[in-house]
A and B are shown apart, each in its own frame.
Chain A
Amino acid sequence: MSDFAKIQSSPSGVAGTSHGTRSAARWLLSKIMGGIFVLWAVFTAIFFGLRMIPGDPAQAIMGGPGSQASAEALAAAREQYGLDQPLYVQYFAQLWRLVQGDLGTSYSLKSPVVEVLAELLPPTLILAGLALLVAWAMALVLAVLSTRSGAVGVALGSGLEIISAAVPHFWLASVLIMLFSTMLGWLPPVSTNTPAGLVLPIITLALPLAGFMGQVMRDSMAEAQRSAFALSARARGESETGVLLRHSLRHGALGGIALSGWALGSLLSGAVVVESIFARPGLGRSLLSAVTARDIPLVTGVALFSAAAYVLIMAFSDLAERLVDPRIGRS
């Protein structure tokens, strides 16, 4: 529907509601279609990508490195998993199963991929969720403190943020283990089910993220501090801290919210490294071992799940922005 038609069909405010509903429906439809396209593209890329790498999936099914599978055993494995079919047959057969919600059976874990995902999702979500909260807290504290303490504080805070944002997870994890487990003996180096076992993995994931978010937040806050409403608040006699906490902080937080969708994506990829180093069960570690073992169904499953989660999160943050700021979507 063109803008011209929209104007024609909504001469009054009443008709505007039905226009809004239709617009929302169209928005939803475009999101769903876009999401389906993304999932199909991810599936196709993974399907052909994994097969272009040399090596025999049947060998992977048979225990992979170190085991010399017999011809009979390999043939049986090929037949069982349909690997003896031509590639295009395998592709469409898998695509059809996928449409029906069947992600197949993991080669390496010998159980349905859906079950594996259901089992490994909660530990990863707990880790990523807590890391996001901690990153938020760290970023807010850093942004507020550094903004309050003037130019030197900003420079210092900014420097700290850049350093923490640039630190790779595996390096941070190794240093944290050395410091807090080996030298000080305060925290376990492997992730156990106790709260203490979660501390190092959470810090490892949260610190680089806090660096990114702190940067964005402080920029938004600094902008707000210079704005007209901050000036008028000061004119009303608000203290500098009051202006910062009551007014500018919200703007800073908005900058952080916009980043949270991206943040969750980066947390999922960070989980690959962190879960491996801290020997914690989860989606990221299973992806790493699945890629190593050429476990095509599991790699496909994890990738599709991540893509779906990303599509959903982006849709939600888009929706949230439209709700918070009515100007978006009207123009």
Chain B
Amino acid sequence: MTLARPLATKLFPIATALAAALVLAGCTPSGTTSDASSDPGSPVTGGNLVYASGDAEPSCLDPHVGGNYPQALVASQYLETLYTKDAEGKLIPWLAADSTVSDDGLTRTVSIRDGITFTDGTALDAAAVKANFEHLLDPKTASSTGYLALGKIASMKAVDASTLELKLKTPDNSLLESFSMPWVAIESPTALKRTQEENCAAPVGTGPFKVQSWKKQYSVQMVRNADYVLPVAGAAHAGPAYLDSITWRFIPEAATRYAALQAGEVDIIDNAQPDAIATAVKTSTIKHLDAPRPGASNRIELNSSKAPFNDEKVREAFIHAVNINASVDSLFFGSAKRSYSPLSSVEPLAYSEESLFNYDPTKAGTLLDAAGWSERDAQGYRVKNGVRLSLTFPVSTSQSIPAEQSLFEQIQATAKESGIEVQINLLDISSWYGELFTNSYNLVSAPYTKVGPGVLSILFHSDSTIPAPSGYFANLSQVKDPALDALLNTAGSTKDEAQRKDLYTQAQKKVLEGYYLLPLYDQQNHFLYSEKLKNVGATTAVASPIFFDTWLAN
């Protein structure tokens, strides 16, 4: 029966394409596009919002445990964070009132807001936050994302009810950004004392909704927190949420998810695919929310640790040999914008350098000739010392959507014109990790979501080339540059905001100009929702939607 998976994986895209073709053929709207900026009217209280998620169902609803994006999406409804980002991308306090850091950068004091209670009646105070950090740092919790975010904390102390003092191992100017991620959300310390199984089933937070029940493989049911008092700064209203409840369903098939939205079975879907978005934006009944994730852009990393990409000329040649822009436009139907930066466009410190990434096969040819890849074999591929210029490109079918896989095929086709062979291997996630661990790749694309430019250290510091015991290392281009390390170290610890910006810009210039990566576009995060749903758009710092201000029109 295990054979069913690769078969289904191969054939789902075909079925999806067929389904899309049928939709396009049969259901073209009659050209009535509504004005998106129209007044949503006056809010209506009540109703149940049905959310359909295409992500894998989390194994635990507490994002402290493990810590992936699907957990962040659902937890954003019932858990809140110490810090968050406003609509302009500025970091602002939420459950925290304020924070200061000592001159040496080694003591961080966080003051906690008064008068907030968790939905189980426990009061939020400094001791509660301390209990959360201890929970995250306890290996038994098995936190990965949250654990990494708090890695610089050496010790902590609740000085009084509203003051938490953190001693750091080394200065960390991205700590507040880390506090804004749902993986470091604050939960009731009373609830955390339960068994992990109980806490995973129904974590207790301060959010506008609370978990009522979880029917595995089907849905998570959440109800309004009637005592909610703390909307984030910039929210459209005060008091409890408008919606009575939220049903969080898991519908893995993209075509089914979109059909369910069209049929009115669900009100909002995530992981909307480019073809569905292109169809939906032409209708008046379905609206589109584009919320790129923070952290790194989606990019292809060029493995510089081994031939042929240990030669910078070959890296540069590859980047000029592939034609990306036309393919991105056509395959994503205009829903993805080309990136020229290692960072997401929502990161204020993102630095772009478009001029490095032009399509120029002539230049690619000159560079390859100069690097010694001047002969050609019978198939037209370049050869040096009897070895073909061939690149292995393992692709994770669960991380790269069908449109992205098609883009990689376009890259393969244009690289061939310059005599470069690209071997794409479509793999399931574990086999894909396996290729990474054994350094069996020349090209790879891996997403990385994190708030703030600190993600650059994770992706490009030489420390990140040392595999963890699991074999995982985040520096997949395997750049090892002492000058870059020094830049990243200082950028991550300085208290001077202007210097931080300058150093992170220099670091980005270095990796771009060294041709270690080929930026593609932001990490795509598209939602489609029924026009009956009003005031959708507020998100957390990691771009997961919050439905506090949202209401269902009758």
Contacts and interface: CB of A to CB of B under 8 A. Distances in A.
B90 interface: no
B139 A73 contact: yes
Given A77-B142, A182-B27, A189-B263, A299 B2 contact: yes
Nearest to A178: B22
Contact of B263 (A72, A188, A293): A188
Interface string B262-285: 110110000000000000000000
Nearest to A171: B15
Interface residues of B, number: 77
A107 to B, nearest CB: 8
Contact of B470 (A71, A183, A273): A71
A23 interface: no
B431 A269 contact: no
A73 B144 contact: yes
A116 to B, nearest CB: 8
Nearest to B262: A182
A153 interface: no
B434 A54 contact: yes
A243 interface: no
Nearest to B434: A54
Interface in B189-204: 196-197, 200
Given A119-B216, A269-B1, A277 B256 contact: yes
A110 B256 CA distance: 28
A209 to B, nearest CB: 16
Given A170-B15, A269-B1, A66 B449 contact: yes
Contact of A62 (B144, B196, B252, B259): B144
A192 B23 CA distance: 23
Contact of A55 (B8, B67, B433): B433
A119 B63 CA distance: 25
Nearest to A107: B59
A63 B144 contact: yes
A268 B431 contact: no
A108 interface: yes
B494 to A, nearest CB: 25
Given A68-B144, A75-B469, A292-B429, A177 B59 contact: no
Contact of A54 (B147, B196, B263, B435): B435
A303 to B, nearest CB: 7
B415 to A, nearest CB: 26
Nearest to B251: A279
Query: Which one of A68, A72, A190, A281 has the highest number of Cβ atoms from chain B below 10 Å of its Cβ?
Result: A68
Interface in B411-455: 428-431, 433-435, 437-438, 447, 449
Interface in A32-81: 46, 49, 53-56, 58-77
A285 interface: yes
B200 A110 contact: yes
A120 interface: yes
B253 interface: yes
Interface in B229-279: 249-253, 255-257, 259-260, 262-263, 265-266
A242 interface: no
Contacts of A279: 52, 249-253, 256-257, 260
Nearest to A61: B142
A108 B216 CA distance: 11
Given A54-B430, A68-B474, A70-B144, A287 B252 contact: no
B66 A62 contact: yes
B69 interface: yes
Contacts of B435: 54
Contacts of A75: 139, 469
Contacts, number: 223
A288 B468 CA distance: 29
A69 B468 contact: yes
B398 A59 contact: no
Contacts of B249: 190, 279
Contacts of A111: 197
A193 B353 CA distance: 53
Contact of A67 (B16, B66, B218, B255): B66
A74 B468 contact: yes
A183 B256 CA distance: 13
B145 A288 contact: no
Nearest to B261: A189
Given A63-B59, A182-B259, A272 B265 contact: no
Query: Binding site of A, secondary structure by majority: helix, strand, loop or mixed?
Result: helix
A306 B429 contact: no
A190 B474 CA distance: 38
Nearest to A49: B2
B22 A175 contact: yes
B4 interface: yes
Contacts of A183: 26-27
Contacts of A120: 217
A170 B8 CA distance: 8
Contacts of A71: 468-470
A60 B428 CA distance: 12
Nearest to B259: A189
Interface in A223-280: 268-269, 272-273, 276-279
A108 B59 contact: yes
A269 B1 CA distance: 6
Contacts of A192: 265
B216 A281 contact: yes
Interface in B25-41: 26-27
A60 B430 contact: yes
Contacts of A268: 1
Nearest to B1: A269
Interface in A111-127: 111, 116, 119-120
A77 to B, nearest CB: 6
A303 B1 contact: yes
A109 interface: yes
A104 B195 CA distance: 18
Contact of A272 (B1, B144, B259, B431): B1
7 closest Cβ contacts across the A-B interface?
A: A54-B434, A63-B66, A55-B430, A281-B217, A189-B259, A279-B251, A69-B144
7 contacts: A49-B2, A54-B437, A66-B449, A110-B200, A175-B22, A279-B249, A279-B260
Interface of A: 46, 49, 53-56, 58-77, 107-111, 116, 119-120, 168, 170-171, 173-175, 177-178, 181-183, 185, 188-190, 192, 268-269, 272-273, 276-279, 281-282, 285-289, 291-294, 299, 302-303, 306
Interface of B: 1-2, 4-5, 8, 11-12, 14-16, 18-19, 22-23, 26-27, 52, 56-57, 59-60, 65-69, 71, 139-145, 147-148, 196-197, 200, 215-218, 249-253, 255-257, 259-260, 262-263, 265-266, 396, 398-399, 428-431, 433-435, 437-438, 447, 449, 468-472, 474
Given A55-B429, A178-B23, A282-B217, 5 more contacts: A54-B438, A174-B255, A287-B4, A289-B56, A291-B428
